[in-house]
Amino acid sequence: MTLIEAITLGIVQGLTEFLPISSSAHLRIVPALAGWSDPGAAFSAIVQIGTLVAVLIYFRRDIFSIAGAVIKDILRGKPLESREAKMGWMIAAGTIPIVLLGLLFKTEIETSLRSLYWISGALIGLALVLSLAEAKIRKRLESDLPLKSMDRIGWKEALLIGLAQSIALIPGSSRSGVTITGGLLLNLDRATAARFSFLLSLPSVFAAGVYQLYKTRDIITASPENLSNILIATVVAGLVGYASIAFLLNYLKNHTTTIFILYRLAAGIGVLMLVASGHLLP
């Protein structure tokens, strides 16, 4: 990987990790269009550490509040007493499905599921489901029915959105895309769905990144160039990712996800056409 490739892929990761358009899909599609080698699932997981740091910094107050409440309530012998501690345990419980399924289908995730057929199918499929979720929210608003904010998220929402998060193991589906969609289907308002999506991603992204760092440590440290390129890509992803979080949370306060639905449909159909015409190898 050259320096230009590392910077480009870092920008792509940062832009697409939090928008519901799939970072894994773009880290597969962009190199294919540019004629570069597929950076692989391991690269994606490691560079996600940059966007993980962006989430940690952006939501630092929430994270300190939740972590502090969990520790405090455990020491008091009442682990679920406060709202913040309960949120911490719900995030932990919501992480279990993606960890179990990630380990179970690890080989497929790193090989066959990176096919552009799977990626384009996931891009299109989630766009259709997200459009159904948006229709549900619009109907609810037209009927003057309230939407749920962060303080109304319970175990049911946490576990079901956590289960939805496991779909993100399929490249092209998008971690934020499936969790935001799950949140909308459970009547969360758009900004709350995105906020909970980002908090829920913390444990699994951290675990995946650390695992891939350990697994590929020999390759990464094989040369100074390898190490510097992965570091640069990770830092760039973090900087761009921070701006992406701020944009999406502000955008969803007053807008629907329609623009992302249309983009996913266009990207998925476009990739299929390029594969069918022989311009891209699946």
DSSP assignments along 37-73, one per residue:
PP-HHHHHHHHHHHHHHHHHHHTHHHHHHHHHHHHHH
Q: Which of 7, 6, 10, 16 is nearest to 245 (CA)?
A: 16
Tens of pLDDT, residue by residue over 31-57, are 999 998 888 777 887 888 899 999 999
* Dihedral pair phi/psi, residue 111, rounded to 5°: -125, -90
Average pLDDT over residues 127-134: 97
- Mean pLDDT, rounded, of the chain: 92
Measured CA to CA, the distance from residue 275 to residue 220 in angstroms comes to 31
Q: Whole-model pTM above 0.85?
A: yes
Burial of 139 (0-12, 13-18, 19+ CB in 10 A): exposed
Helix (H) or strand (E) holding 229: helix 224-254
Output the six-digit token pair for 271: 């990739």
Residue 84 scores a pLDDT above 80 = yes
Q: Which of 144, 262, 143, 129 is nearest to 184 (CA)?
A: 129
Tens of pLDDT, residue by residue over 160-180, are 999 999 999 998 999 999 999
Domain ranges in the chain? Answer: 3-276
Q: Which of 243, 256, 257, 281 is nearest to 14 (CA)?
A: 243
